[in-house]
Each structure stands twice: as structure tokens, then as C-alpha cells.
Structure 1
């Protein structure tokens, strides 16, 4: 039987990820994409430290994904081996994407600053390349959503089967995962208005992760898997 201490460690790690992820996903775009392309490149130069903070935040998110998956694997140690294996694989892929994607931000910042070794490119070319790498980062995020979603599916299965956490949270995690997968597919196939519309629909569904993390932190795990069956 897992302990509530194990659950709270996993929950706090999950909450820390939820707090750090919006730095690059929400805050940084809000201060960079404020006008014409040339303005965006100028914002890259003006907000260098914010961009670097976004890089650190993304790397931290990648590391947290590894520790979250390890802690959840331990939490569900007595449960389905296949589910735990899928959880490990699914959690490792978002961690890799986080780590790889920071290269696009570093490249964008480097081209925006125009150091001496890049003088072979004229100013317009450097600006275009900076914007290209920013766009690549955004497309990588959309692609990564499919992995953010798929790793939640085995987690949802483990939650439902273990009885350590109410079953309705497992169901919400499953819907949460499907919402990420849908956003990724629509964002890649039909970018623009269709993706924005779906995002507004999916956002409330994606609070399943927050509810799960808060439950682990506040409640922990059931002492008896069936002791709260009435609310599952």
C-alpha cells in the first residue's frame, strides 16, 4: 500500500510543473508577440533575461517530468505492470521534447542579438531566422501536446484500477489526455481559427491534472482502496 507521503511528493512535483510550464507557454509569448515581426525581434533583444528564464523553466519542466513519472511509478508499484511501463515511456517523451525545444529559443535569441560570427547574414536575414526559430518552438509545442495527452491515458488507467484515488479523477485525466491529443491534431492539420476554437473548449477539460495533483497533496491516498468507493 503506497503512503500518503509518497502521494504528496508526486503531487507537489506535479504542481511545480503546472506552475513553471506557463512561463514559456503563456507569459513569454505575451511579451514577445506584441506587433509586427520586427517588433517581435526587438522584444527578443529587450527581454533577453525573460527568454533565458523561459529556457530554464522549460528545462526544469523536462526534469520534473522525469521525477513525476518515477514518483507515480512508485506510487502505483503494486498495480498493472503494463500501465506503469506505458506511463514511464509516455512521460519520458515530453521530457525529451522540453529539452530539445529550448534550442529553438536559444537560436532565436542568438539571431536577434546578431553577434559578430553571424555578420555573414544581413539584418533582414537574421530577423527572419529569429522568427523562424520562434515559430518552430511554437510548432514543437503543438506537436508535443500529443505526448502530454498520451502519457495521461495510462495514468488514468492506473488511477481507475488502483482505487488509491477516486475513480472520477481517473476519468477526468483520461478526458484531459484526449483533449491534448485533439488539440495537437487540429493544431497541426487546421491551424488558425479551428485550433483556437477547440482550445477554448478543451481548456476546462485540462484541469484534470490540477485536480489530481491537488488531491495527492491535500488528501494523499486512500488507506483502503475501497474505503471511498462511494465517491469513485
Structure 2
């Protein structure tokens, strides 16, 4: 009975962490940057950053917290799934660690520098205002591409994770299928944006829908149905 309680707590903790990651990352990317960054308009984007400086800084902190939690859940997923294929679990979790805790965290420098160049006196003394605004815009634009690069690693992780969930037999197979679909969505966005510019909105919709179906469903399943999952992990 005690082991069952510990197992339930473990899965629910994993589900809670995953939900927090989704909320924090969604807030930063979907609310903060999407509301502030205006494609093709450096002046307005710079003005939005300065007028919402506190929110912009909170967005960076939210992302950083999400990436820290992502490192934790990467290890938890490895420990959960290694009895059903140690090598596959290791590869999958390593890709998740590379995606957000590594690439995503370094990419936050671009987020910060978009504000930093607008606030630094030495830069203001050396460049004209439109040049500084364009430089800030460049950093935010670079952040978007950095996010796409991380998405390639994360997409493969999600696809492998879905396969592991199906293979393990301790989860509903539909959860695994939805995670494979989410992985394909991330890969379509990353490679699609680089290969077929001009279709970013379409690819964003694809990844938004598939990620919601896969990741949100898995996170809520772990959080709510954790007590019904049987695991061989200690």
C-alpha cells in the first residue's frame, strides 16, 4: 500500500511539473513575446518592450523556470521508462535536455539583449534610435529562430517518448500516439519555417494543435490519473 501511495505521488508530481512547464512556457512565448514583438516593425516592437519592461523581464524568468523544470522532468521520464528500453529512454531524455535546458536557456540571451540594447547608455550614445530599434528587433527575431532549433530536438524527443509510452504498456496507447503526433508537429514547424518561409502561421497552428493534444493530455493524465498507472520503477 505504501509503495502504491509513493507511486501515485511520483506520477502526480510529474504531472504537476509538466503542467507548470506548459503554463510558464505558454505565458512567455504565447503571451509576452507574441504580444510585444511585431513582425516587420522594429520601432513598435522596441516601444512595446520599453513600455512593458516589467512584463518582458517576467517573460524571461518564466521561460527560465520552465527550462529548469524541464531538466527535472527529463530525468524523471528516463527513470520511469528505462525498464522498457534503457537506450531509447536515454536518447529521448537527452534530446529533451538539449532542447530546452540547453539550447532554450542559451537562447534566452537573445530575449534579454533585445531589452538590454534599448537601455544601455553606451549603445544609445553610439547609434541612432532607428539603428538601436533594429538591433533590438534582430535579437528578438534571432530568439524566434533559436526556439525553432530547439524545437527540432524537442520534436524528436516527443516522438520517441510517444513510442516509449506505447511500448511500456503502462499508459493508454492513445497517449503515446498523441505524443508522436506532437513530435511531428514540432518537426513540421521547425523544418517548415526554414524550408518554406511565408507559411509560419500555418506551421504555428499545426504545432499548437498537435502539442496541445499530446503534451497537455499527457500532463493532465499524469496529474489526474496517476493512481491508476502501474510502474516497475522504485
TM-score norm. by structure 2 comes to 0.88
Q: Find out whether 1:108 has 2:134 as its counterpart.
A: no
Deviation for aligned residue 1:150: 1.1
Where do 5+ consecutive residues of structure 2 fail to align?
A: none
Task: Assess if the C-alpha contact under 8 Å between 2:60 and 2:111 holds in 1.
Answer: yes
Q: Find out whether 1:42 has 2:15 as its counterpart.
A: no
Aligned residues: 224
Task: Assess if the C-alpha contact under 8 Å between 2:8 and 2:226 holds in 1.
Answer: yes
Superimposed CA distance per residue, residues 198-223 of structure 1 (whole angstroms, 9 cap, x where no aligned partner): 33244322221111111111111645
User: Secondary structure of the residue that 1:151 maps to in structure 2?
Assistant: helix
Structure 2 counterpart of 1:146: 152
Q: Distance in 2 between matches of 1:221 and 1:188?
A: 43
Q: Map 1:61-210 onto structure 2 (within 5 A).
A: 61-94=66-99, 95-116=101-122, 118-192=124-198, 194-206=199-211, 207-210=213-216
Alpha carbon RMSD of aligned pairs, Å? 2.0
Superimposed CA distance per residue, residues 31-74 of structure 1 (whole angstroms, 9 cap, x where no aligned partner): 31358421211111111111111111111111111011111122
User: Which runs of at least 4 in structure 1 moved beyond 6 Å after TM superposition?
Assistant: none
Q: Select between 61-70 and 194-203 the one with higher mean Cα deviation.
A: 194-203
- Which is richer in helix? 2
Q: Distance in 2 between matches of 1:153 and 1:130?
A: 35
Q: Distance in 2 between matches of 1:16 and 1:99?
A: 17
Q: Distance in 2 between matches of 1:33 and 1:86?
A: 35
Structure 2 counterpart of 1:32: 36
TM-score norm. by structure 1 comes to 0.88
